[in-house]
Amino acid sequence: MIKRLLAGLAAALFAAAAAAQDYPTHTISIVVPFAAGGPTDTVTRLVAQSMTKTLGQTVIVENVAGAGGTIGVEKVAKAKPDGYTLLLMHIGISTSPSLYRNLRYDPVKDLDPIGLVTDVPMTLIGKKDFPPKDMKELITYVKANKDKVTYANAGVGAASHLCGMLLLTAIGTDVTTVPYKGTGPAMTDLIGGQVALSFDTNVAALPMLRAGHVKALAVTSARRSPSLPQVPTVAEAGYPGFEMLPWITIVAPRGLPPAVQKALGKALADTLADAAIRADLEKAGVDVSYEPGSFYDARVAKELPLLRAYVHKANIPLE
């Protein structure tokens, strides 16, 4: 009986190893835990298109929206670790444990990193007829008109929410905050003039800025963004140390066979080294900053306590 069990186990391990060596043999799905059309979705579709060529199998994008991205993340965290279900997610992986009481996955223990795609600065944008032209004018205006200024965010715990709360805390004032279910609806109302201000990623902001639908007031990176070199940082406006730099990464369920993880890591590295893909991403507002998967565990472990402090400082209630 024991011999049969051992033989069965050996056969299963051999089959798994053989499957890993042959990887990939069929379609790969990259889950985006947000609705189609947002900045994360845009980045994923560009990356998936290139990885399809690199891996020799179709890479599709699957949108699984809801609960601030946690539904899609949980789906991947609980999936079979065979390399056919991946996740492209931003810094929300680190913020979610600070925002949800009953999160059903651990961002470190349940996910295997493939690689970092980019660090994405956020841009503070205003409706096109908003009187302030820069951060210094904005601060004066908001303090004098705080009851008249409305600020849109993409939902509780979203990067736009955190950025907005931290900025308002830094300048020592408050405005009327309007939460939306995603960046798309928030941007629509900003363009329409229903709200005055919002933070969004360069991916979402650039097309609207180029079209003249909104104005840029500041970026949240420590240095000016190559995508918007003319726009000053929040730190330049007199708040040194202010930085919020959401990142985008690809991960998989924890337990990937080493050969599969290596194949995916190489495919992502090759994709982000491709000049045409980099140009497409940069045109979309992404400043490509590839790092191998080894960055993930250390960065998340470092950021978890910092983001808990941000959430506490911004007085964001737990869901």
Domain regions of the chain by residue span: 2-120+247-313, 122-237
What pLDDT does residue 12 have?
A: 43
The encoded tokens of residue 93 equal 């992986």
Identify the CATH assignment for 122-237 out of 3.40.1180.10, 3.40.190.10, 3.30.420.40, 3.40.50.300: 3.40.190.10
What pLDDT does residue 109 have?
A: 92
Is the distance from CB of 121 to CB of 169 less than 8 angstroms?
no
Encode the chain (319 residues) as per-residue pLDDT tens digits: 555 554 554 444 444 444 567 999 999 999 999 888 878 898 999 999 999 999 999 999 999 988 878 999 999 999 999 999 999 988 788 778 878 888 999 988 999 999 999 877 899 999 999 999 998 899 999 999 988 999 998 877 677 888 888 888 888 888 999 988 778 889 999 999 999 999 998 888 999 999 999 999 999 988 898 889 999 999 998 888 888 877 889 999 999 999 999 999 999 999 999 999 999 988 888 888 889 988 888 878 777 777 777 777 666 667 7
Q: Which of 87, 29, 37 is nearest to 58 (CA)?
A: 29
Overall CATH class of domain 2-120+247-313: alpha beta
The encoded tokens of residue 167 equal 């900025």
Q: Which of 181, 218, 178, 179 is nearest to 202 (CA)?
A: 218
Is the distance from CB of 58 to CB of 71 less than 8 angstroms?
no
What pLDDT does residue 121 have?
A: 82
What pLDDT does residue 1 have?
A: 53
Alpha-carbon span 53 to 158, nearest angstrom: 33
What pLDDT does residue 3 have?
A: 56
Torsion sign across C-alpha atoms 298, 66, 287, 225? negative
User: Under 8 Å CB-to-CB from 197, ≥6 apart: which residues?
Assistant: 124, 125, 126, 127, 130, 149, 150, 151, 152, 164, 175, 190
Same fold, 2-120+247-313 and 122-237: yes
Is the distance from CB of 268 to CB of 290 less than 8 angstroms?
yes
Alpha-carbon span 224 to 231, nearest angstrom: 7
Name the burial class of residue 13, with classes exposed (0-12), middle (13-18) and buried (19+) by CB atoms within 10 angstroms of its CB: exposed
